[in-house]
Structure 1
Amino acid sequence: MKTLMKLLLLGFAALLLLGFVVVSPEHRGHGPRRAHEHHRRVSHDRRQVNAPETRQVAGRVSATLDRAKEDARRRLDAEIREWLAPDAATSWTPPAALVDAMVEQVRVAPEEKDYGTVYTAVIDADFGGGHRARLVDAYRRDVTRDRTMKLAATLGFVLVCLGAVSGYIRADEATRGYYTNRLRLAAAAAVGASGVALYQFLA
């Protein structure tokens, strides 16, 4: 039992290393000349990626100034999620700090109506490739962290199951089978509780 648990822990550590160690094939076997050409190409690509691309995102007409800004921000978040597809899931929420870095200006235009003043907010945002690359990197980090946590939770559930079975066998042997049914219920309860916790975590 101890050997099996050690193997599971070693396998978990190996999966973590494989998840975080990434070797780029573009940097294998480059000689000095090819490395220089690769550096020039990467520098040129970075200049193109970092080129600004300003878009105007307008919110809906709102009754108050704050609501106009909030609606424009929601429209911006939705447009960013569509812009990142398919490199990022549309259900993913971009970090507020990275979205704030894209905002260049927020303009609010009041308009007088017969029933009062209404407001429309327009956000000037930079949709350049540099911001896109940073957002995609953030999404990949979130996915990696989420998968690692789910893997750790699954392995924890397996260890709980092994521990429950091991404890049941040892206790049953120690009591010479007098409390077999109670021990089985206790082991099943432990496995069931950990299974419910795992389900709630993964859901």
Structure 2
Amino acid sequence: MELIIVVALVCLGIAAQPFAARRLSPVVQSTLGSLCVGISLVLTALVGSGLVQLPQPMMAGGQAQAALPDVNKPAVPEDASPSAEGSPASPAEKPSVVPNDESRFFVPPEQTPDGIKLYTDDDETVIIPPGRPNWVGQAPQLEGAIHSTAVCSDPYATHQQAIQALDKKLEVATADYIRQHLQSDLAPQLISYDARQIHKRLLPPQNVYHEKIKVSIGPMHQVHALVEFSPEFREELDRRWSELRATYRLAETGIVGGGVLLVLATIFGYFRLDNATRGYYTSRLQFMAAAAILAIVGTSALVSKWWIYWL
């Protein structure tokens, strides 16, 4: 886009030279006008041939990544400071906390009468009632005839809140699968399924499990689901993606071809009008032709940016 703007300003500046300096000879004026038209044709040819890539559609949101701490570097306690004489603190004054202590991550679950007791990373105790299916918490299965992804809502005070949170995570998990299957970041934007469609087509009733866990603040509701992607669903994704690619590629060809035809029509009209007026308005006609060509190129670029996906 920056290249198009710069070339447009240069062409307009060249085309406006006959008005800024009226003492220029007709040969110089014709040369400047022809140069402007030539630059516009070269720009159109570059855009049409794909040598100059048009901007991709703007994606919603940014991709921010937080800085990760260096786990190999021991953490320095805040209260560890040298003594008044500048010597290091004695062992008695050092804190008893061991940097990067990972022992709490390996605490095995305990079996209690109420269920299985787990310990989270923030030392929170969670009691899970018995009867949890084996597929809860498993990694996505992308082999075999039926692919599956396990989804879990966060703990909520009511069952309805947990269901609403699960619906949002179902949509995110389905979009991730579509992106991975079609290998395109644009695929979830063009092919999407809401929670109602997912429950109807991808989530059998037996694949939904509701449990009531116990935490320090009291009982909480949590819902698990196992989304299944059948071969028929994958064939539907491939078919819809092929149709979308054909549609947008046809639109791309139409925009490029239409732009080239409009540019040629503008040049042909310039020569016809210049011949009809016997060269009395050559400079003005050249300016108008250059402005029309730039308007065609700019309009095509904007349409390609905002309404066309380059698949």
* TM-score band, normalised by shorter chain: 0.5 to 0.7
Alignment of 1:89-168 (within 5 A): 89-93=184-188, 94-96=191-193, 100=198, 101-105=201-205, 107=208, 109=211, 111=213, 113-114=215-216, 120-168=222-270
User: C-alpha offsets along residues 55-100 of structure 1, whole Å, 9 cap, x if unaligned?
Assistant: 2431452664423321232022202322x24xx5243122427x63
Asked if 1 retains the 8 angstrom alpha-carbon contact of 2:213 and 2:219, the reply is yes
**Partner of residue 169, structure 2:** 71
**Of 146, 151, 156, which residue of structure 2 is paired with 1:53?**
146
Question: Does the CA-based 8 Å contact 1:72-1:122 persist in structure 2?
Answer: no
Deviations 1:150-191 (A, max 9, x none): 000101001110111011111111112122122112111111
Alignment of 1:8-87 (within 5 A): 53=146, 55-59=148-152, 61=154, 64-65=161-162, 66-82=164-180, 84-85=181-182
Q: Note the C-alpha offset of 1:120.
A: 4.6
- 2:29 corresponding residue in structure 1: none
Mapped partners of 1:147, 1:154: distance in 2: 11
Cα pair 2:151 2:227 within 8 Å, conserved: no
Larger Cα-atom Rg: 2
* In 2, Cα distance between equivalents of 1:118 and 1:196: 57
Residue 296 of structure 2 is aligned to residue 194 of structure 1: yes
TM-score, structure 2 as length reference: 0.41
Q: Provide, for residues 96-116 of structure 1, a one-character-per-residue CA deviation record: whole Å limited to 9, x for no partner.
A: 27x633333474656564557
Contact 1:69 1:121 in 2 (8 A): no
SS of 1:125's partner is strand
SS for the counterpart of 1:176 is coil
Contact 1:62 1:68 in 2 (8 A): no
Percent of matched pairs sharing the same residue? 19
Give the distance between the partners of 2:225 and 2:172, measured in 1 at CA. 11
Deviation at 1:139, TM superposition (A): 0.5
Kindly provide the amino acid, as one letter, of the partner of residue 78 in structure 1.
D
Richer in helix (by share): 1
Structure 2 Cα separation of the partners of residues 178 and 116 of structure 1: 90
Query: Cα–Cα, structure 1 residues 55 and 180, in superposed 2: closer, same or farther, change >3 Å?
Result: same
Contact 1:103 1:123 in 2 (8 A): yes
Partner of 1:29: none
| 2:287 aligns with one of 165, 185, 190 | 185
Q: Unpaired runs of 5+ in structure 2?
A: 1-143, 306-311
Number of aligned residue pairs: 149
CA contact (8 A) 1:52 1:128 kept: yes
Supply the RMSD in Å over aligned alpha carbons.
Answer: 3.0
Q: Could you give the per-residue CA deviations for residues 101-158 of structure 1, whole angstroms, max 9, x where no partner exists? A: 3333474656564557766554433322111111111101111111000000101001
- 1-structure distance, mates of 2:222, 2:296: 51
- In structure 2, the CA distance between the partners of 1:177 and 1:75, relative to structure 1 (3 Å rule), is same
- Flag structure 1 segments of 5+ consecutive residues without an equivalent: 1-50
**Equivalent in 176, 179, 184 of residue 278 of structure 2:** 176
